Amino acid sequence: MKTTTEWWNETKSNPDKLVTWLKRQYVGELAAVNLLSELLIRYGHDMTGEQWDNIYKVMHQEALHGKWIKQLLDARGIKPEKDANATRRYWSEVLPSVNNLESAASAAHNAEYMRLFRIREIANDEAAPEDIRKIFAAILPHEEWHEEVFKSMKGQADLSEAHNKGLSALNLVLV
């Protein structure tokens, strides 16, 4: 198991790993849009108007993050993989526990909470490549808001057991 700091130090210091991660980051941002679309399809009828609007805004911001990552890839001369798909190691452990709006929101809250560890690490790392740090500093406030949106929607639902299985699938420890 690796901490976020260990993972980031290993990734940023290895050019091949960094490129692979950036390509996966691009796909991951756009895959988030798809997951949120599925959330609206499955549970949108249970949402208030404000909740629906917030999910739509989160989708828009995730697509914007994908655009920013694509611009970063372009500036570095890196081509995204054609027909790439997101590997869902984390989500394959979590999604089977989702059966209503609250559990979906709990799953999304846990994922956003987890993601904030990496985003903060990168955004606050003065030794990180400046172009990457700049984009993640711009992404950070959006992701903090996403976490709050899903926290407010999850009610009493607790998917921590599934979340921990997902962390194990990623070989990640949150500290």
Average per-residue pLDDT for the chain: 88
- DSSP, collapsed to helix, strand or coil, labels residue 3 as strand
Q: For residue 47, give the DSSP letter.
A: S
24 vs 135 pLDDT, higher one: 135
- DSSP, collapsed to helix, strand or coil, labels residue 131 as helix
Residue 149 in this model has a pLDDT that exceeds 90:
yes
174 vs 17 pLDDT, higher one: 17
Total domains in the chain come to 1
- Check residue 166 and give its pLDDT: 60
pLDDT band at 131 (very low <50, low <70, confident <90, very high): very high
Q: E strands along 42-169, which residues?
A: none
Q: Which domain holds residue 72?
A: 2-173
- DSSP, collapsed to helix, strand or coil, labels residue 127 as coil
Do 66 and 26 meet the contact criterion of CB atoms below 8 Å apart?
A: yes
Q: State which amino acid sits at residue 117.
A: F
- Check residue 170 and give its pLDDT: 53
| Structure-token pair, residue 83 | 């027909």
Do 66 and 30 meet the contact criterion of CB atoms below 8 Å apart?
A: yes
77: region left, alpha or beta (phi > 0 left; psi from -120 to 50 alpha): left
159 vs 40 pLDDT, higher one: 40
Do 104 and 45 meet the contact criterion of CB atoms below 8 Å apart?
A: no
56-113 residue pLDDT tens: 999 999 999 999 999 999 999 999 887 766 556 666 776 777 888 988 898 888 888 8
**CA of 135: how far to CAs of 33, 124, 129, 153, in Å?**
18, 11, 10, 28
**CA of 165: how far to CAs of 36, 43, 107, 144, in Å?**
21, 24, 12, 23
CA quadruple 49, 53, 58, 63: dihedral sign: positive
Residue 171 in this model has a pLDDT that exceeds 80:
no
Distance CA 1, CA 145 (A): 28
19-42 residue pLDDT tens: 999 998 998 899 899 889 999 999
CATH number for the domain harbouring residue 7: 1.20.1260.10
pLDDT band at 162 (very low <50, low <70, confident <90, very high): low
Shortest CA distance to 159 belongs to which of 83, 93, 86? 93
- Check residue 93 and give its pLDDT: 75
